[in-house]
Amino acid sequence: MENNKVINLDSIDAYNKIYGLTTRHPLVTVIDLKKATRSINNVRINYGVYALFLKNGISCTLKYGRKHYDYQEGSIVSFSPGRVIDVSMDKVETAPDVVGLMFHPDLIYGTPLGDKISSFTFFDYSQMEALHLSEDERAIFLDCLAKIDAELDHPVDHHSASLLSANIQLLLEYLHRFYDRQFITRHKVNSDVVRQFEQRLKKYYESGESVTVMPNVSYFAEQANLSPGYFGDLIRKETGKTPKEIITLHMIGVAKQRLAASAEDVSLIAYSLGFDYPAHFSRMFKRVTGQTPSAYRESLNLN
């Protein structure tokens, strides 16, 4: 996989030419690879567009970073500009059963979708966090694709851009809902992820020794073998707080304990918690508690 051919996918037409498909609009396409006249395998794709794929029937392995993931039947994977994905199929098919949507960022600039696109965080999930659709959800997905496809067949007029953007947003809103359902149905597994996160966070500080690097969301996501985006959404949906908020609250708790248990200089406590600058620690402490570290310590002595 390391020597795969690299394809810079920076336009809709570039994708269509790879598979021998027709380009009906320069910024958006509805994909049906059963109509493909060409195929590719063992390639590395550098995405410059947004893409969603629903796969049926082919055995395909995707590699993101250093991990391999099965692209299971009936699942949706999504990619945002900037993602680099290695693709390998067990056998090359000229007409794999894959449908989907691809659109260029230029399509949505200045539209309501452009303002909201960052909220569709599933574009940054890894492939092990693919969305698995029920039959009803699959029907809704295909219906949304059909509406976008019908609009692409309509002659371009001054309504085209807004209608395409609105229909794409509708599809993404449904996928957002489906992911919420998937989070709920995986509550047992997700609650275990939360518990392990809390244990790892506690262990990170429990020795009482100085830490050289302040823990961040990416660190704990990697420990859980999840992407930072999926890990963040999972923790927020299970606890009502973001991982960063939980890390900050735990860190403040550790700081309070050290402020109360010793006369150690505030700067030394800040460094021991992984802060490069004591002023940053003091600002965070005051933002969370309403007091500076020194004022908090003084208030303990007054009680």
At residue 70 the predicted structure's pLDDT band, cuts being 50, 70 and 90, is very low
At residue 6 the predicted structure's pLDDT band, cuts being 50, 70 and 90, is confident
Would you say residue 163 has pLDDT above 90? yes
Note the pLDDT of residue 86.
Answer: 79
Note the pLDDT of residue 29.
Answer: 97
pTM score over 0.75: no
Q: Which residue type is seen at 2?
A: E
Note the pLDDT of residue 93.
Answer: 52
Would you say residue 223 has pLDDT above 50? yes
At residue 57 the predicted structure's pLDDT band, cuts being 50, 70 and 90, is low
Note the pLDDT of residue 67.
Answer: 45
At residue 85 the predicted structure's pLDDT band, cuts being 50, 70 and 90, is confident
Lowest pLDDT segment from 16-30, 123-137, 147-161: 123-137
Q: Of 235, 149, 228, 165, which Cα lies nearest the Cα of 197?
A: 235
- The 10s digit of each residue's pLDDT in 111-148 is 999 999 999 999 988 766 788 888 899 999 999 999 99
Note the pLDDT of residue 41.
Answer: 77
What is the pLDDT of the chain when averaged over all its residues? 86
Domains identified in the chain and CATH numbers: 5-185 (2.60.120), 188-302 (1.10.10.60)
- The 10s digit of each residue's pLDDT in 252-303 is 999 998 899 888 999 999 998 989 999 999 999 999 999 999 999 988 875 4
Note the pLDDT of residue 68.
Answer: 46
Task: Calculate the alpha carbon distances from 193 to 33, 59, 298 in Å.
Answer: 37, 29, 38
Would you say residue 208 has pLDDT above 70? no
| Mean pLDDT computed over 75-85 | 88
With a pLDDT cut of 70, the percent of the chain lying above it is 88
Note the pLDDT of residue 66.
Answer: 41
